[in-house]
Amino acid sequence: MKKILISMMGTALVVSGCGASFPVPTQKLADAESANRSARELGADKKTAAQLNLKMSDEEIEAAKAQMKAGDNQRAEYILLRAKADAELALALAREQDAKVETVKAVDTSNAKQNATQNANGAK
């Protein structure tokens, strides 16, 4: 009787351990898609420096969805972490490019005003 009870408990532990699986990374998917959408809204798909990272993010999100369908949620989670990082990098690169453009415009405006002031003072 004791041997049967011990073997049943052992079997129950093994079966319960096999039943546990990695949870579906729905939050990670939402995070990656959100970062991707933010980068796209800022125009990362039109900025040369950010295009590659945004494309990689798109591809990684699709790959993660395929892994989730195949039941490999752990691999999908890791892919989604990379997808989010690539989308965030694309967003940062797009912002950097916008900042550089604004800086050039500000410098040009400042130089034009300074030249106009010098020309006005020189004409007196």
Identify the pLDDT of residue 35.
97
Among 40, 54, 41, 42, residue whose Cα is nearest residue 101: 42
CA–CA dist 50, 61 (Å, integer): 17
Per-residue pLDDT for the chain (124 aa), expressed as one digit of tens each?
666 656 666 665 554 444 458 999 999 999 999 999 999 999 999 988 899 999 999 999 999 999 999 999 999 999 999 999 999 999 999 999 989 989 998 988 888 888 888 777 765 5
CB-CB contact of 50 with 94 (8 Å)? yes
Burial 22-53 (b: 16+ CB within 10 A, else e): eeebeebbebbbebbeebbebebbebeebeeb
- The residue assigned the tokens 């079966």 is 15
Which domains, ranges and CATH numbers included, belong to the chain? 23-119 (1.20.1270)
